[in-house]
Amino acid sequence: MGGACTIELVADTPSGAYGIAIDDAFVYWVEVDGVIARAPKPGGPRQVLVTGESQPQFIAVDAANVYWTVIGDGTAARPSGVRKAPKAGGQPIDLLTDPSLQAWEIAVDDAFVYWSDEGAGNALHRVFRIPKQGGAATALVMLAGDAQNDKDKITSIAVDATSLYFCDHVASAIYRKADKNDPQSALVKLAGAMTPDGIALSADDVFWTSFSDAGSDPSGLYKAPKAGGAPVTLATSLQATNAVSVFGGEVFWGAFYDGTVNRTPTSGGATTRIASGQNPVRIGVDARWVFWTNQANRSVMRAVR
């Protein structure tokens, strides 16, 4: 698998970090105690953008703003929802608040914010979109929950220019909605997948990680063509996590309980270990570095790709 690279601390996060996103200059993340923060990618102090959020989860950025989901506590005072703020700091704005939701994963394109709602038990599990400037939310995907299996159902989402992709953890499947903005567009099952957790896209393929608490199922890294076709196993691990990102002909992924961050060619081939002794939760990659949030020591880390 190859030797680990030198890893560097980007920032200590007192309560631990979860979702991560990057732009040309900064790496952004959410902290468990309700902080939205960033730091310069080449190195520099942690900059707190927002405080007091109610269980923030995942994060995305565009040219002007940072967007994130909050689970809340189910009350009108601290509801779940989707929020945004200027990337340089400023007053956060509610795009949507609803105490009946459990806003979870998030993605953005030029016009819309997409997020998943993790209803509990037999509640509906859904993916919504809302205009970036605010407005009415539209339900794009509605799946019945599993009353016997109260797991996160839609564990990861991604969008490209035309379509929406997501992992259905309980049904063990990867889906594509051909028209990401049409609620009536049919869902296409791209692959059966053992408890899929993370998803990432290249121009032609969908990549995902699988996760097994049992430690004996075939967890690992997989891909399938966006247009449909047989899935391909790229790498295996005892327990892979939902940390996965694609850049420049390589897919970067984390094995949470193995404690490693890895890279594998998108076309297949040998896996190289980038870091060990980690518990990676989410990964972001650019032309020089791979960044990840690390539950092991409550930090944001980086290594040269």
pLDDT score of 146: 62
DSSP, residue by residue, 155-190: EEEEE-SS-EEEEETTTTEEEEESSTT-TTSPEEEE
- Domain ranges in the chain are 7-304
Report yes or no: 67 and 113 within 8 Å, Cβ to Cβ: yes
Closest-CA residue to 252 (of 209, 293, 210): 209
Report yes or no: 188 and 180 within 8 Å, Cβ to Cβ: no
pTM: 0.94
DSSP designation for 77 = S
Q: Give the whole-angstrom CA distance, residue 103 versus residue 300.
A: 23
Report yes or no: 113 and 134 within 8 Å, Cβ to Cβ: no
Segments of the chain with pLDDT less than 50: 215-216
Q: Give the whole-angstrom CA distance, residue 226 versus residue 231.
A: 10
CATH of domain 7-304: 2.130.10.10
Q: Give the whole-angstrom CA distance, residue 87 versus residue 235.
A: 36
The DSSP bridge pattern shows strands 205-210 and 196-201 to be: antiparallel
Six token digits for residue 126: 């859904």
pLDDT score of 145: 66
pLDDT score of 40: 97
Q: Please write the tens of the pLDDT for every residue from 48-64.
A: 999 999 999 999 999 99
Q: How far is CA 99 from CA 164, 235, 261, in A?
A: 25, 40, 36
Residue type at position 228: G
The CB-side HSE value for 211 (13 A sphere, CA atoms) comes to: 24
What number of other Cβ atoms are within 10 A of residue 215's Cβ?
10
pLDDT score of 216: 47
Burial class (CB in 10 A: 0-12, 13-18, 19+), 38: buried
